[in-house]
Structure formats: C-alpha cells, structure tokens
Structure 1
Amino acid sequence: MEKLPERPDTPCVAVCSTTFDEICRGCGRSVVEVAHWVSMTAEQKETVWVRILSQGYPRRNT
C-alpha cells in the first residue's frame, strides 16, 4: 500500500459557511463530509483532500 501524504488533521479553516449551498466556503467539503470527517478512513479523507485542493480550497479569506 502506498503511503499517504501528511496533511493537517482537518481542512477546516474556521470560515464555516454553507448558507446558500451544501459546500463549505472555507474548506470546500460538503455538509456530509464535515459531519462524518472524524469517522472517515485515511483513504477517504485523502480523496476529499485531493478534490478540495484541486478546487482551490481551503480558503482562509472568503
């Protein structure tokens, strides 16, 4: 199995907003991903990390 990259514990940047849609404007995760983050496997988290980084997240100043 390939070693996963080292990442922070969470992509959260304390700019939480899902007012108009299901995606947080700060970290780029869906509401479901945020809710289940602590129970996700390392591989599931890495999948999310790859997607949000490719989309320009996390954003500290939104």
Structure 2
Amino acid sequence: MLIIEVKPGENIDRALKKFKNKVRKVKQVQQLRENQHFTKKSVARREEIGKAKYIQHLKDTLQD
C-alpha cells in the first residue's frame, strides 16, 4: 500500500504527481502485468540473456 502525505494547502495535482512517481519507482504496475501469467524460469532466463546481449551490442556499436 502506497501512502502519500499531503500537506495542508498543497495542490491536489502535486499530490497526484507524487503518487504517480511513487508507483513508477516501486514498479507496482510492472509487477501486476508480470504476474498475470506464469513464466518458466528457463524462459525468463533466456529473455534476460537476450536482453543483455542486445544492450551489449548497442554499447559496442556506440563505442566504434
């Protein structure tokens, strides 16, 4: 549960912005989407390795 403290006289838009930032930092929405279906550990690991290869490829091409 996320708790956002709103100071007296603080604008509601400011409080909403704080809430959105906190949700993003906690990765709450991302966790909900990941938990909608089960992913085998081997598949998750394969995706993780593929992502690492892609990022490494991008770094290599930027250095050249």
TM-score (norm 2): 0.31
Select the structure with the greater relative contact order (CA < 8 A; seq sep ≥ 6).
1
Q: Which is greater in Rg?
A: 2
Report the structure, 1 or 2, having the larger helix content.
Answer: 2
